[in-house]
Each structure stands twice: as C-alpha cells, then as structure tokens.
C-alpha cells in the first residue's frame, strides 16, 4: 500500500492461542508515553508490509513466524501527517516466552476492557476500532511467509 513520499508504520495485533487476550506494550516514551499500545514500528523504504510486520514483531517481542500467521486486516492513511499505518493480526499457535525490547509487554483480556479509553490506550480510539473489527469481521487477508 506504499504511498509516494509517505512514511509507513505497522500495528500488529497478537492474540494468545485461546483468543481471549491481546498483547500490548506500555509506552516508555512519547508519543503516548505511559499508555498501552499495539506492537509495531516503522516500515522501511522498499520493504514489503508483511516482512516489516514480522520483523517488528520479532524485534519487539521475540515472536517469529514459526508461532503466528499474520493477516493484513486494514490500513489507515493520515494525509495531514504524511504517513500510513498497516494493521496486521494473528493468533499464536502456542504459548511463548516474550522478549521485551524497550517497552513492557502485557497481555490484556479482550472482554471487559474498554479499548476506546484514551486515558489508558494510545491511538485516539483506533485500538478500540481495530478490536471491534476483528470481533465482527475476523482477521482479514493472510499471506504465507516464505523463509
């Protein structure tokens, strides 16, 4: 989905094997310092979206493609910020030991959490929107990753 001259970012929604918890990082710096956010990062120029998502997931959590299959669910374009965000989602096939890079990682329950709460979650309500989209429509397009 590359847009000419726009910086790309990704968000990777990781569900536990049972599908009842979602993985978050607690931001240690701005933007959104102190808030829960979805795992993600920058997409490098000339980098495929799926490759970038798997790379960021591995860097930030230690999770690799052997235990999760990502699906490309949606994109956001922010013309006023000259960037776009690709959203990926997947469920772990088994429990894993998480390896924190910079931010504290935490599993939060899918039910009973208000993901639209902007005092707790980053993204001005986008996280709530993404969680609801998964609940209603599922995970989206999948692509097998070749190693």
- pLDDT tens across 62-121, in order? 999 999 999 999 999 999 999 999 999 999 999 999 999 888 999 999 999 999 999 999
Average pLDDT value for the chain: 92
Query: Each residue of 26-55: b (16+ CB within 10 Å) or e?
Result: bbeeeebeebbbbbbbebeeeeebbebbbb
Of all residues in the chain, what percent carry a pLDDT higher than 70?
A: 93
**How large is the average pLDDT for residues 35-47?**
95
CATH classification of the domain holding 108: 3.90.79.10
Total structural domains within the chain? 1
Domain that includes residue 132, residue range: 7-142
Establish if 26 belongs to a structural domain: yes
Establish if 46 belongs to a structural domain: yes
What pLDDT shows up at residue 144?
A: 46
Four-CA torsion 97, 139, 35, 5, nearest 10 degrees: 110
Establish if 114 belongs to a structural domain: yes
Q: How far apart are CA 47 and CA 41, in angstroms?
A: 13
**How large is the average pLDDT for residues 26-48?**
94
Establish if 129 belongs to a structural domain: yes
- pTM, rounded to two decimals: 0.91
* pLDDT value at 2 more than 90: no
Q: How far apart are CA 112 and CA 92, in angstroms?
A: 21
Establish if 76 belongs to a structural domain: yes
Establish if 2 belongs to a structural domain: no
What pLDDT shows up at residue 101?
A: 86
What pLDDT shows up at residue 145?
A: 44
Establish if 147 belongs to a structural domain: no
What pLDDT shows up at residue 1?
A: 47
Establish if 128 belongs to a structural domain: yes
Q: How far is CA 34 from the centre of its chain?
A: 17
């Amino acid at each position: 989905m590359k847009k000419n001259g726009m910086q790309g970012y990704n968000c990777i929604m990781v569900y536990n094997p049972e599908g009842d918890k979602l993985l978050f990082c607690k931001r240690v710096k701005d933007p959104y310092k102190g808030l829960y956010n979805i795992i993600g990062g920058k997409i490098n120029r000339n980098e495929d979206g799926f490759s970038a998502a798997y790379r960021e997931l591995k860097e930030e959590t230690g999770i690799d493609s052997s235990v999760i299959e990502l699906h490309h669910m949606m994109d956001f374009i922010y013309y006023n910020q000259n960037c776009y965000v690709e959203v990926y989602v997947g469920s772990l096939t088994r429990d894993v030991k998480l390896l924190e890079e910079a931010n504290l990682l935490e599993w939060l329950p899918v039910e009973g959490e208000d993901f639209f709460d902007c005092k707790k979650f980053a993204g001005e309500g986008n996280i709530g929107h993404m969680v609801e989209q998964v609940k209603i429509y599922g995970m989206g397009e999948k692509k097998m990753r070749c190693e």
